[in-house]
Amino acid sequence: MAHDYEVITSDTVYQGRVVDLRRDIVAMPGGTTSQRDVVLHPGAVGVVALRGDEVLLVNQYRHPVGRRLDELPAGLLDVPGEPGLEAAKRELVEEAGLTASSWHVLVDVLTSPGMTDESIRIFLARDVHEVERSVQEHEELEMTSHWVPLASAVGGALDGTLENAACVVGVLAAAEAVRRDFVGLRPADAPWRARPTH
């Protein structure tokens, strides 16, 4: 019979602008307890936008690693009650000035389940076209976007050129979806088991 990892005590030790830090004391097998530090994250969405055999990448500065990264258009689930699909549509407009006629769930990813509840849902957007967007701010002021062949992006995921986790997962999943001629993709409103609820 599997052990029940009961939380004995739990308290929030830090509240930040985006994430909180919770300290749990958890019952371990063998009658012991252990402290588990959990980063509480609101969750996020990313978008693999395909145009023919090309994928859209954005490039922006990421402060924790101190440099610019090629990534997918993406963003936090920071609008209360907003469905994941609506967040993805919003981010694609805000970061790339694009919208799409066809949307599917590509993959759901727990980014680092050993220390955070962060879950990212990556959508596949096809039949894209340009739209007007509002004025960008902060890092988005210097954000650029560019289309690259999906095969080149896959190569970048494998040779270390692409390092952002959601981008690597999204690009590889998109290549497999293309190989399968998009058969078997989940609908854009499919249940999201791991979406954080706090």
Catalytically active residues, by annotation: 140
pLDDT range class, residue 88, cuts 50, 70, 90? very high
For residue 60, give both structure tokens: 């922006």
The H or E element spanning position 122 is strand 119-130
pLDDT of the residue at 54: 98
pLDDT of the residue at 96: 94
